[in-house]
Structure 1
């Protein structure tokens, strides 16, 4: 288990602070993660990588000369928000465009894609390469569905080397895509991992047994077996990866980089024993082993597990793999002199600017801030319940994620309202903060919903019931754009009835309080009814049968939030009558 921490909610932030303090010669802290503290030639491509924290040395440990220009670092096992990715990319780019590269997980895809759109709108050219090396996560016919695990290093290394050589964004993207196409990984786990402050691990493996194909967040493996000897494990890993070779690769005479990765608790000495057999088996198969890596490269806190990656080289990839690199966690070749950035750049910070709203909108902004404070209090009251519900078929982090997001939104909304922002701006800033702090899919969804609310509400006048109705509908459309539909057992199952009832009651002439009350009741009933549904979206989809009989955590949290806003509306009405 993870033993050393202060407040578990602050763990990721404090980890980044300590990492930067220990590596100031290579990295600096920026909003959303880290960037190089050394200069890069103008006009070169910036490789920006990222993902959830808890996998060190991925991702911050791979920022430096010959590797990444910056890394967006989300909360523990949660994708960085679109705002984090955008901020890191802007701090890292230097005129040659940005290549975003990351493991292929739903939350990361949503947030990195949103960041790519924001960067494009800002006039920065962007390309994306998702790493899909884990052969256990989808069949060869559906490579686009595969996860990214320790094969990240292969893609990042060659892309970073190509960028350092001054190649164009298109050229850097092409070699990164080819590296991904020629990389395969497969892993096993002997025990689960525990997040800071957790009483129980995220998953367990029976004593003396081994989960085959387990993901780096505890995603279910494809089978289970007795723990083998080191040589037997090496044979299992090598045999599996040799059954699926990249197009055009013939093992006999082919150059291959083996990467034996420890997931957190397997000691280096054990890895070396396994690697001895791995290299022998590859050599016996006719492969030519080139510059292997053995150690912790993509971890999962204290998970006991091992993965093997095979990166099949061609001449160009071999040159880029061998090129010099100097990052906190990965160094290759001779030292390269680097110039430190000016002090004002290293210490630069950002505060979201606020344009004052009208007097009417400022008054509404204070109401919005009160409502968001009520949402935070409600989530705090139900955080354990939401975690228990989510743990049935997910990873149990919904409550924590919602708590982080609502807390950040509350702080940001209060600050923006105090600085004279209008209601629309307060909602937009709160959405940014929610998405930024919560990370993951739910963070992206709530960020988009609040941004849509704010866009319609605006900063000019006090919103009437019709405007609120239009804003809620815009928020619903923003959430539906993520792909879920009613019946998928998601937040959408409560959101759509809420939107429909609110619209119908306001159109019928009800005041906002009456209409919101009816809509909140509909959302609560719909959320409870999700207990009967089989999940068809999200991580719970693969554990569908486990979720029947339990409502969806996202739908339940949405219902709680509508009730919290209702309580604020009641308070305001009573205050006006008092």
Structure 2
């Protein structure tokens, strides 16, 4: 378990602070993560990677010459927010565009996509790319649904090495796609990981058994088998990967592969070497030439006891990129000839840190009616934070059945930050619209992950509908909730029946809109809509997930409601209590 920490909620920030202090030769801190200490050479495409904390050396440990130009670091097992990614990307930009790279998880897809849109608004050409190497997380027929695990490294490195050689943004993106298409990974675990401050691991494995096909966020495996010997583990990993040869590779005989045997957190290096000796022999027997293998911790999951094997099937281009020099805190290879080219000054930076947040000391002018409504909105956000605090462990337990168990923690971080931002805005005299949009940004920024992006969307939609001038009405509230429902569906891509918060948000929004349109007072309309939300949340227990991290473990979730749906239902009821008090 993770033993050394102070305040668990500050763990990721403090770890990043210590990392940058220890590796000043390679990196410097900026808001949201780190960039190369020497900056990005002028005219070079910047490769910016990122994801949740808890996976070191991914992602910050891979920043340096020959690899990433910057890394955005989210909270523990939560994607960085769009604001954090944008900040890092602006600091890393060298004038030739930015490629944002990450593992294929819903929260990362949402936040990196939003960041790319905001960077475009800043005049920076930004593209996104998700790594999809984990063969256990989806079938070969659905490669876009696969997760990114230890295959991140060879894909990131190929793209970054191409950028280092002067390739333009289109070419760097092509190389990333080519490397990803030829990369496959598979993992096993013997015990789950325990987050800072938690008493129990996110999942457990029975004594004498192992989980097969696990994720790197504490997601349980897709199955269990008897605990193997080192050689049996090697045979399972190699056999599984050789069953799926990428298109364009003519079978394993006579082929070359970059090989990574990755420790997930608590498997000792000596154990990895015992396994690797058999991996190397099996690949040699299959006619595979191993090129510059890596054995060690490359993408971890705190203290998870497990390993994964990655094969990147090389051609001449990919072999050259894989062998290219790299100099980062956690991954070094070869040597560079000559000094690094002169760097471009970081965009928008006056000092070491780039700050992009709104000025919290001023707020737009607001009407007296809107300021009074802002007080009610603050009370509602306080009730939301209190409700989440009360149910945080329950939400984590529900999420851990088939997901990574961090929903409660993420909701707690987000709701607490939103309440704090709302209180600051209220004290400055903000109207309801500004208060809610400030709270939306704070929730998305501090929570990260899918829920952070979606709750940021919800609060922003309601805030936009209310504005700062008009007196809020039942119609404007209902319009805002309907806009929130549409925005969440558009952003997350989920539909009713996918076993997500959408299964609750849609009936809640539709019921509220219908009743308000019929002339029912807001408090009564909200009460009946909350009942519909509660019934819909309970009904998700009978659904199988078709989206998110729970999807690969669909059967395990049957009989348990969706954590995001359940938390939303709890929140709708808490807000109803506030409306009653202000009726």
Q: TM-score, normalised by structure 1?
A: 0.93
1:515 and 2:513 are equivalent in the alignment: no
Please give the alpha-carbon distance, in whole angstroms, between the structure 1 residues aligned to 2:537 and 2:578: 21
Corresponding position of 2:351: 345
Deviation at 1:420, TM superposition (A): 4.1
- Preserved CA contact (<8 Å) 1:30 1:91: yes
> Residue 28 of structure 2 aligns to a residue in which SS?
strand
Deviations 1:276-324 (Å, cap 9, x if unpaired)? 2222332333332221111100011111111111122222222222222
CA distance in structure 2 between the partners assigned to 1:529 and 1:234 by the alignment: 42
1:284 to 1:419, Cα distance in 2 relative to 1, 3 A: same
Shift of 1:108: 1.6
Which of 556, 567, 573 is residue 563 of structure 1 equivalent to? Answer: 573
Does structure 2 conserve the Cα–Cα contact (< 8 Å) formed by 1:37 and 1:346? Answer: no
Does residue 221 of the first structure (1) align with residue 227 of the second (2)? no
Which residue does 2:399 correspond to in 1? Answer: 390
Q: Which residue of 2 aligns with 1:576?
A: none
How far apart, in 2, do the equivalents of 1:419 and 1:160 lie?
45
Q: Kindly indicate whether the alpha-carbon contact (under 8 Å) linking 2:40 and 2:93 is maintained by their aligned counterparts in 1.
A: no
CA RMSD of aligned residues (A): 2.3
Is there any run of 5+ residues in structure 2 with no aligned partner, and where?
none
Distance 1:156 1:107, change over 3 A: same
Q: What is the aligned partner in structure 2 of residue 259 from structure 1?
A: 260
CA contact (8 A) 1:413 1:430 kept: yes
Mapped contact 1:103–1:147 kept (Cα < 8 A): yes
Corresponding position: 1:359 with 2:360:
no
CA distance in 2, matches of 1:206, 1:64: 41
SS in 2 for 1:289: strand
Superposed counterparts of 1:238-249, under 5 Å = 238-249=238-249
Cα deviation for residue 416 of structure 1 reads 2.6
Q: CA deviation at 1:206?
A: 2.3
CA distance in 2, matches of 1:457, 1:326: 51
Contact 2:84 2:445 in 1 (8 A): yes
Deviation at 1:141, TM superposition (A): 2.2
Equivalence for 2:204 = 204
Cα distance, 1:459–1:25 mapped onto 2, change above 3 Å: farther
Aligned pairs (5 A) from 1:370-449:
370-449=379-458
Cα deviations by residue, 1:226-282 (Å, 9 ceiling, x for unpaired): 333333332332233223223333434332221111111111112122222222332
Please give the alpha-carbon distance, in whole angstroms, between the structure 2 residues aligned to 1:547 and 1:226: 23
The answer as to whether partners of 1:161 and 1:320 remain within 8 angstroms in 2 is yes
Measured in 2, the distance between the counterparts of 1:472 and 1:134 equals: 37
Deviations 1:535-558 (A, max 9, x none): 444333444444444433222222
Q: What is the distance in 2 between the residues matched to 1:136 and 1:529?
A: 28
Deviation at 1:204, TM superposition (A): 1.8
> Does 1:320 pair with 2:284?
no
Q: Could you tell me which residue of structure 2 aligns to residue 276 of structure 1?
A: 277
Q: Report the CA distance shift for 1:304/1:465 in structure 2 as closer, same or farther (over 3 A).
A: same
Q: Which segment is superposed worse, 16-25 or 27-36?
A: 27-36
Equivalent pair of 1:188/1:211 in contact (CA under 8 Å): yes
- For residue 499 of structure 2, the aligned residue among 486, 489, 497 is 489
Whole-angstrom distance in 1 between the partners of 2:138 and 2:556: 21
Cα gap change, 1:86 to 1:350, in 2 (>3 Å): closer
Counterpart contact for 1:46–1:96, Cα < 8 Å: yes
TM-score, length-normalised on structure 2? 0.92
Higher RCO structure, 1 or 2 (CA under 8 Å, sep 6+): 2
**Compared with structure 1, are the counterparts of its residues 554 and 240 closer, same or farther at alpha carbon in structure 2 (3 Å cutoff)?**
closer
Q: CA deviation at 1:506?
A: 2.2
Assess if the C-alpha contact under 8 Å between 2:51 and 2:59 holds in 1: yes
| CA contact 1:104–1:131 (8 Å) conserved in 2 | yes
Q: Distance in 2 between matches of 1:315 and 1:393?
A: 41
Deviations 1:479-538 (A, max 9, x none): 222233333333223322322232233223333333323333332343334444444443
User: Unpaired segments of 5 or more residues in structure 1?
Assistant: 574-578
SS of residue matched to 2:329: coil
Q: Contact between 2:78 and 2:448, CA under 8 Å: does it hold in 1?
A: yes
Whether the aligned pair in 2 keeps the contact of 1:51 and 1:59 (CA below 8 Å) is yes
Does 1:311 find its partner at 2:303? no
Displacement of 1:60 in angstroms is 0.8
Supply the distance in 2 between the matched residues of 1:155 and 1:246 (Cα, whole angstroms).
Answer: 15
Q: 1:393, 1:242 → 2: CA distance?
A: 28
Cα separation, partners in 2 of 1:543 and 1:213, compared to 1, 3 Å: closer
C-alpha contact 1:453 1:474 (8 A) present in aligned 2: yes
Shift of residue 30, structure 1, vs aligned partner: 2.2
CA gap 1:545/1:120 in 2 versus in 1, 3 angstroms:
same
**1:167-214 Cα deviation digits (max 9, x unpaired):** 100111111111111212122212221111222211122223232222
**Partner deviation per Cα, 1:121-164 (whole Å, 9 max, x = no partner):** 33221222221112222222222222111111101111111112
Q: Distance in 2 between matches of 1:247 and 1:254?
A: 13
- Does the aligned pair in 2 maintain the 1:188–1:214 contact within 8 Å? yes
CA distance in 2, matches of 1:143, 1:416: 45
The residue number in structure 1 matching 2:132 is 132
The whole-number CA distance in structure 1 between the counterparts of 2:542 and 2:231 is 47
The match for 1:76 is: 76
SS of equivalent to 2:482: helix
Task: Quote the Cα distance in structure 2 between the aligned partners of 1:159 and 1:43.
Answer: 16
Quick one: distance in 2 between partners of 1:483 and 1:116? 18
Asked if the contact 2:363/2:425 (under 8 Å) is kept, the reply is: no
The alpha-carbon deviation at position 31 of structure 1 amounts to 2.4
- Matched residue, 2:475: 466
1:348 Cα offset (Å): 4.1
Does the 8 Å CA contact 2:458/2:485 hold for their aligned counterparts? yes
SS at match of 1:196: coil
